[in-house]
Amino acid sequence: MSGVTRKLWRFPGGIHLEGHKAISTGQPIAEAAIPKELVIPLQQHIGAAAKPLVRVGDTVLKGQMIAQAEGQVSAPLHASSSGTVIAIEERAVPHPSGLNAPCIVIETDGHDTWCELTPHPEFKQLEPQELRNLIRDAGIVGLGGAGFPSFIKLNPGGHIAIDTLLLNGAECEPYISCDDMLMRERADEVIRGARIMRHALQARKCLIGIEDNKPEAIAALRQAVTGLGEKEIEIVVVPTLYPTGGEKQLIKVVTGREVPSQGLPLEVGIVVHNVATAATVYRAIERGEPLISRIVTITGEGAGKAQNMEVRIGTPIHTLLEQSGGSRGDYQLVMGGPMMGFALNSEALPTIKTTNCLLLATEADLPPRPAASPCIRCGECARICPAQLLPQQLYWHSRAKEFDKVQDYHLFDCIECGCCAFVCPSNLPLVQFYRYAKTEIWAQEREKRAADRARERHDFRAFRKEREKEEKAAKHKARAQAVKQESSEDSKKAAIQAAMERAKAKREQNDTAPQNTDNLTPEQQKMIAEVDARRAARVETGGGKEENEER
């Protein structure tokens, strides 16, 4: 099915922007050289940082897992070339905060030697859970946005029925063309990945949404679908309008379904992944290769040679610029596009899994914004907002640090597309305020969670101490009782012993010779002798006992 007859919908707001994509699509995807040093941050996306599995001095092979996922929302990391681990330390990383973070640093050996790989060419022989585990172990995260670990989105839970896998090939932001070039040159990888993901999700169909400003990519995808005879994959061509690439916006345009406020696409039976993520899933399953590289657009008027490059994760940006004809004039280095990207302060920073574009923006690309002036309440921002928010209210409350109120105005439905700031006649840096408010709210929530955990720990410690005290008291009481019982038994024993001794003394007294046997007559002595003889005779015949008792 080509998708030409499918009904399309429209999301509210949005703007038509100059694409600037042709700058970087003039030549095929180039292979970036192996850098001397790879700097691989342990945290490259949403979720917890990975935990190193290697130590300084270890030799590693390309594709070898060097850090494992830590926690529910996390992804492992793999060496993107062979070499030696020379440091595990804090380095500068590409992040809006500009802060350092722990990284594994590999000195490459130039051989690019793969570790042993385990391909699964017949993915249909694997259960969905097995596929998800392989995708998790390959370290795959969303390559089109914030880098959410892909295996989680492929596992919506048994109670939720997903009917549609929607692949996002809109790539609506100006200048960025890595997905466009991927779809042009590797459409079969995207389609193969789509089949695997559909199987993992057990989704009935797969739609691939792509903006109509990418005719070469559309043709390549259609060709790939035909070649594979895949009936359940549909290429849906949508009008070019920023920000169609937003998850909720693309769902609306392609299916007409509305994702609820602060809800997830799976609530309307849809899971969205990026086309580049799909190609990476194909490589992970059918070739056994983990995520160690991605396509990066190098573009902007400041770029010596704008192009797309297949880049190993961890490659320092300056080495890519050197391979792209260096730079021209004054420029601001931006990671991402002009609408949603953020400025980088160093070219020594490494590329990470979410580096889709390096924009060397001159004043021609990003004209300086005039000074901001007070809001005139014109309402333009609300008219243009694709999330149907009230940007000026968000702005006021963010600025006033009224974080409860800003959430009442659905701050977290804001996709930071920048449309409001783009049209604002007062040139207010609206998105910066929204990012600030989100960061503050997250920080407060983190603090609250930490305080809750600390309180729980304190309560538990107090409970444990109280329990130990009670146990100690019970033991003490039991011991005292035992001692008491023991002493009463001792006095009983002593009384018995005394009685026995008294009886013994009495017996001994009875056994002593009678005092009146002195000075006996011979007759008396004879009688006694006869009595003693009789007694002795009785003792020998067993009658002694009775005799003794009689006595």
Helical packing angle, 275-282 and 187-201, nearest 10°: 80
| Interface pick for ligand SF4 out of 127, 379, 476, 530 (rule CB under 6 A) | 379
Q: Does 437 bind ligand SF4 (CB under 6 A)?
A: no
| Interface pick for ligand SF4 out of 387, 398, 437, 438 (rule CB under 6 A) | 387
First to last CA, the chain: 126
Q: Does 247 bind ligand SF4 (CB under 6 A)?
A: no
| Three-state SS at 52 | strand
| Interface pick for ligand SF4 out of 69, 313, 420, 437 (rule CB under 6 A) | 420
Pick the piece of the chain touching ligand SF4 (CB under 6 A) from 177-185, 216-224, 357-365, 373-381: 373-381
Q: Does 343 bind ligand SF4 (CB under 6 A)?
A: no
Q: Does 375 bind ligand SF4 (CB under 6 A)?
A: yes
The answer to whether 191 and 228 are in contact (CB under 8 A) is yes
Q: Does 338 bind ligand SF4 (CB under 6 A)?
A: no
Q: Does 173 bind ligand SF4 (CB under 6 A)?
A: no
Q: Does 282 bind ligand SF4 (CB under 6 A)?
A: no
Pick the piece of the chain touching ligand SF4 (CB under 6 A) from 294-302, 343-351, 371-379, 536-544: 371-379
DSSP letter string, 422-470: HH-TT---HHHHHHHHHHHHHHHHHHHHHHHHHHHHHHHHHHHHHHHHH
Shortest Cβ 423–ligand SF4 spacing (Å): 6
- The whole-angstrom separation of Cα 518 and Cα 503 is 28
Omega into 128 within 30° of 0, i.e. cis? no
User: Is the CB of 2 or the CB of 373 nearer to ligand SF4?
Assistant: 373
Shortest Cβ 173–ligand SF4 spacing (Å): 12
- The whole-angstrom separation of Cα 102 and Cα 345 is 18
- The whole-angstrom separation of Cα 532 and Cα 473 is 68
Q: Does 272 bind ligand SF4 (CB under 6 A)?
A: no
Q: Does 411 bind ligand SF4 (CB under 6 A)?
A: no
Q: Does 418 bind ligand SF4 (CB under 6 A)?
A: yes
**Pairing of β 357-361 and β 293-299:** parallel
How far is residue 391 from each of residues 87, 337, 427, 430, measured CA to CA in Å? 45, 21, 13, 8
Shortest Cβ 434–ligand SF4 spacing (Å): 6
- The whole-angstrom separation of Cα 20 and Cα 513 is 137
User: Is the CB of 316 or the CB of 386 nearer to ligand SF4?
Assistant: 386
User: Is the CB of 154 or the CB of 417 nearer to ligand SF4?
Assistant: 417
User: Is the CB of 161 or the CB of 378 nearer to ligand SF4?
Assistant: 378
| Three-state SS at 215 | helix
Strand order, beta sheet including 30-31? 30-31, 307-312, 293-299, 357-361, 332-335, 342-343
Q: Does 428 bind ligand SF4 (CB under 6 A)?
A: yes
Pick the piece of the chain touching ligand SF4 (CB under 6 A) from 170-178, 315-323, 377-385, 524-532: 377-385
Sequence-distant (6+) residues with CB within 8 A of 339 are: 17, 173, 174, 242, 243, 417, 418, 419, 422
How many residues touch ligand SF4 under the rule CB under 6 A: the total is 29
Shortest Cβ 345–ligand SF4 spacing (Å): 24
DSSP letter string, 309-348: EEEETT-BHHHHHHHTT-B-SS-EEEES-TTT-EE-S-TT
Q: Does 419 bind ligand SF4 (CB under 6 A)?
A: yes
In 3D, which of 303, 338, 328 has the Cα closest to residue 317?
303
Shortest Cβ 378–ligand SF4 spacing (Å): 4
Shortest Cβ 356–ligand SF4 spacing (Å): 19
Q: Does 417 bind ligand SF4 (CB under 6 A)?
A: yes
**Sign of the dihedral defined by the CA atoms of residues 399, 402, 406, 412, in that order:** positive
Q: Does 172 bind ligand SF4 (CB under 6 A)?
A: no
Q: Does 66 bind ligand SF4 (CB under 6 A)?
A: no
- The whole-angstrom separation of Cα 276 and Cα 272 is 12
| Interface pick for ligand SF4 out of 69, 233, 349, 415 (rule CB under 6 A) | 415
The answer to whether 177 and 297 are in contact (CB under 8 A) is yes
Q: Does 233 bind ligand SF4 (CB under 6 A)?
A: no
**Sign of the dihedral defined by the CA atoms of residues 253, 257, 262, 263, in that order:** negative
Q: Does 138 bind ligand SF4 (CB under 6 A)?
A: no
| Interface pick for ligand SF4 out of 175, 282, 331, 395 (rule CB under 6 A) | 395
- The whole-angstrom separation of Cα 423 and Cα 380 is 7
Q: Does 344 bind ligand SF4 (CB under 6 A)?
A: no
Query: Binders of ligand SF4 among 184-223, rule CB under 6 A?
Result: none
User: Is the CB of 114 or the CB of 422 nearer to ligand SF4?
Assistant: 422
Residues that bind ligand SF4 (CB under 6 A): 375-381, 385-387, 389, 391-392, 394-395, 414-420, 424-426, 428, 430-431, 434
